[in-house]
Each structure stands twice: as structure tokens, then as C-alpha cells.
């Protein structure tokens, strides 16, 4: 048996092990919740108070690329919204709800990892995204464990209905692909290292508190490991014909301070949307501070096809000093998404161009075309 076959077996065994851990952890919480249920008044049947769900999604696609020298196609897991599995258990005590959530990500040949050298479509990544307990009520929500920091996704508010194929995190489209220099040689610089939406502190071990929502506003604070601290405010509301959502955060690590945010507005009668995101870092090292701006115009309609909503969008990204001091990154995209409501599925297609330059270095543009489908269950 060759090395490749052994690697495939190892990946398969690891995936099975994680799935078993996932379900064991989910069902381990169930007896404790049932015991706790005996302490509440029986004014409502216990089975109405207890909620348990298993859900997830599969998101597969084909990424075609042209890096200036090589044109090829890769079978990928779309990292814009990766394949994942989750379990959630909660119990309603009347004024307070207590529960837990577990979520794992399973990516085979992720667009964030696969490249011109590593084209093996058996490559898999299994990540623990969430493993947390929570309690919520009129006081808000308190969460403990691995989960979203207060600032996670603050750069990613988007009402265009096209985020599955394109949003401010433009590196997810083809982040693993390597750029070529002016002579055509592959470099060590990949898309993901020099294109970023400078989002918050992602999913970490933390304690997080979210306030009750007041007039559309919700505040959040979290304290995480490795000096990761976050403050964020989010808004969602309707004003006449417009739906508006936005978020803003200040977050820190032991190496930088960051301010980032995004806002998106949808005009319901026409289906036209406008989205803007931005972020800036203050690096402790004294190196040039990275920053980016992102703008997107979208259109969505329920009238084009009988299957469900159809959405189109164009976007433009400009970033500086991300990954390489003095580097300038630009990207634009055209994307389309068709919902098939009957089967909880979206089919999508998108083209994206990446352009990057840095002092004393020349890189060739990279073009990507991604088609695929996301099925939710």
C-alpha cells in the first residue's frame, strides 16, 4: 500500500473519530438536561421545553484558475461557507434557557488550502468550530467555551444574498493558490496571505456576553485566550422600504489593535443592495499598519425563476500592507446565486480577479472561476 493510500486511510479514520466525538458530546449533555428539568414547574410538557437539533451543510465546487502560466481545475470545498455539521441542545426553564452547541467543519480540498503544488483532492481538514455552553434570558446571553468572539464576522455584514460565493472575505474564494512572479515562477505568496478583510478574533476559547436587543442594537463583549479582547455593536432594522444591517468592533490581540466594521442596505421594492466594509490595524511592531476597503452592489429577485430567489452582485476590494509591507492588493468579482427552495440548495457561479504588487517585487494577476452548490439540512 502506497503513501497516498495510507494518507487517505488516515484522513478517513480521523474524520470518523471526530464524528463519533461530535455525537458522544452532544448526547452526553442530554441526561444532565433531563435531570435539571425536574426542578422546574410542570406548567409545560418537558418535551416542549427540550429542543435538540442536528443540522449542517455540504458545499462542493470546481475551481478553475489561470495564474498567468498555468490553467487548471480543482475539485474543492468552498471555504466561503465550508461543509460542516452541528448539534444544538437547549432547555427552556421559563425565564431562562440553558443549552450547548457543538459544530465541526469538514473540508476536503478547501479553497483556502489547495494550490498548484498541492492538488490532491483527498486532502481533508476537520476543525472544531464551536464547543460551548450558553444561558440566555431577559438579561441577554452569556456564552462560555469555544465559539464566536464578540467581533467575529463584524467585517462581513452582507444583505446581497450572494455571500456563499463572494463577500468581503475575498481570499476564501481561492486563498490557497500561489502567485507567480514576473518571470512566471511560483512564489511562496498565496492569496490568503496578502488579501484579508481584517475581521475580528474569529472563533476562540472565550467568555462572551451579548446584551438584549434595543431598537435594533445589540452590544457584545468577549474575553479570550492569548489576550484576545473584543467589543462590538450590531444593528438590524427596517426603515420604510429599506432593510439595514451593520456592525462595528474594536478588538485586540497581543500584537495589534483593530477597528473594523461593515454596513449593508437592501431596497426591498427593487432588490438592489449596497454593502461596504472596512478595517484598520495598529501593529505593536511598528510596521506599516494594514487596512482594506470593500464595496459591493447587488440585485436580487424572486421573479426570474420559479425555483426561488436569484441574486447577482459585483464587488471591488482594495487592501494595503497586508502580509507584506508596502503591498497593494486589488480584486473584483462578478457572482450569481440561484436558490432552489424545495431542496434547501443554492447553486452558484463566480469570477474573481486578484492583483497584487509589492516594493521590488512583481506578481502576475490570478483569475479564478468557481461553480458549485451548497445543500443545507
pLDDT digits (tens, 9 = 90+) for 1-28: 554 445 445 544 554 554 455 444 444 4
Q: What is the pLDDT of residues 112-127, one digit of tens each?
A: 999 999 987 666 677 8
Grade residue 200 by pLDDT with cuts at 50, 70 and 90.
Answer: very high
Cell triple for 264? 449593508
Higher pLDDT, 363 or 13: 363
Q: What is the pLDDT of residues 134-187, one digit of tens each?
A: 999 999 999 999 999 999 999 999 999 999 999 999 999 999 999 999 999 999
- Which residues, 6+ apart, have CB-to-CB distance to 360 below 8 Å? none
Residue 239 pLDDT > 70 = yes
Higher pLDDT, 35 or 136: 136
Q: What are phi and psi of 307, to 5 degrees?
A: -75, -30
Residue-level pLDDT at 41: 41
**Beta-bridge partners for 148:** 203
Q: Residue 241 and residue 314: Cα distance in Å, rounded? A: 22
Cell triple for 132? 460551548
Q: What are phi and psi of 202, to 5 degrees?
A: 55, -150
Q: Residue 198 and residue 168: Cα distance in Å, rounded? A: 9
What mean pLDDT comes out for the span 324-340?
A: 98
Spatial CA neighbour of 107 closest among 131, 82, 81 = 82
Residue-level pLDDT at 367: 98
Spatial CA neighbour of 52 closest among 35, 30, 24, 21 = 30
Spatial CA neighbour of 203 closest among 68, 99, 101 = 101
Q: Residue 152 and residue 297: Cα distance in Å, rounded? A: 23
Residue-level pLDDT at 122: 67
Question: pTM for this one?
Answer: 0.88
Grade residue 369 by pLDDT with cuts at 50, 70 and 90.
Answer: very high
Spatial CA neighbour of 232 closest among 178, 279, 283 = 279
What mean pLDDT comes out for the span 337-364?
A: 97
Residue-level pLDDT at 35: 41
Cell triple for 340? 432552489
Mean of pLDDT over the chain: 90
Residue-level pLDDT at 111: 96
- Which residues, 6+ apart, have CB-to-CB distance to 5 below 8 Å? none
Spatial CA neighbour of 318 closest among 358, 366, 355, 274 = 355
Amino acid at each position: 500500500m502506497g503513501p497516498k493510500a495510507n494518507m487517505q486511510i488516515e484522513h478517513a479514520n480521523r474524520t470518523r473519530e471526530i464524528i463519533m466525538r461530535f455525537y458522544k458530546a452532544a448526547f452526553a449533555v442530554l441526561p444532565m438536561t433531563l435531570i435539571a428539568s425536574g426542578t422546574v414547574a410542570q406548567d409545560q410538557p418537558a418535551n416542549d421545553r427540550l429542543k435538540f437539533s442536528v443540522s449542517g451543510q455540504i458545499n462542493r465546487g470546481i475551481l478553475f484558475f489561470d495564474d498567468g502560466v498555468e490553467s487548471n481545475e480543482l475539485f474543492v470545498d468552498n471555504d466561503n461557507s465550508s461543509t460542516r455539521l452541528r448539534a444544538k441542545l437547549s432547555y427552556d426553564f421559563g425565564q431562562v434557557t440553558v443549552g450547548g452547541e457543538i459544530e465541526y467543519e469538514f473540508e476536503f480540498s478547501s479553497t483556502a488550502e489547495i494550490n498548484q503544488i498541492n492538488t490532491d483532492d483527498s486532502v481533508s481538514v476537520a476543525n472544531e468550530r464551536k464547543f460551548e455552553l450558553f444561558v440566555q434570558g431577559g438579561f441577554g446571553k452569556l456564552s462560555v467555551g469555544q465559539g464566536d468572539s464578540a467581533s467575529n464576522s463584524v467585517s462581513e455584514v452582507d444583505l446581497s444574498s450572494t455571500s456563499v460565493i463572494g463577500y468581503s472575505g475575498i481570499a476564501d474564494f481561492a486563498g490557497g493558490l500561489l502567485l507567480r512572479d514576473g518571470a512566471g515562477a511560483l512564489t511562496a505568496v498565496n492569496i490568503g496571505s496578502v488579501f484579508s478583510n481584517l475581521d475580528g478574533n474569529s472563533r476562540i476559547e472565550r467568555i462572551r456576553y451579548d446584551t438584549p436587543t434595543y431598537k435594533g442594537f445589540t452590544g457584545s463583549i468577549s474575553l479570550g485566550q492569548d489576550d484576545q479582547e473584543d467589543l462590538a455593536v450590531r444593528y438590524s432594522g427596517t426603515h420604510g422600504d429599506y432593510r439595514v444591517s451593520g456592525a462595528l468592533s474594536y478588538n485586540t490581540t497581543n500584537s495589534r489593535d483593530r477597528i473594523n466594521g461593515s454596513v449593508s442596505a437592501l431596497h426591498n421594492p427593487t432588490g438592489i443592495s449596497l454593502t461596504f466594509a472596512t478595517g484598520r490595524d495598529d501593529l505593536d511592531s511598528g510596521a506599516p499598519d494594514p487596512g482594506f476597503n470593500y464595496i459591493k452592489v447587488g440585485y436580487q429577485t424572486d421573479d426570474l425563476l420559479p425555483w426561488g430567489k436569484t441574486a447577482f452582485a459585483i464587488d471591488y476590494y482594495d487592501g494595503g500592507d497586508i502580509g507584506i509591507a508596502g503591498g497593494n492588493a486589488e480584486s473584483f468579482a462578478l457572482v450569481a446565486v440561484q436558490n432552489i427552495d424545495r431542496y434547501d440548495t443554492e447553486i452558484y457561479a463566480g469570477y474573481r480577479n486578484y492583483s497584487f504588487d509589492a516594493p521590488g517585487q512583481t506578481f502576475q494577476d490570478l483569475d479564478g472561476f468557481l461553480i458549485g452548490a451548497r445543500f443545507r439540512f
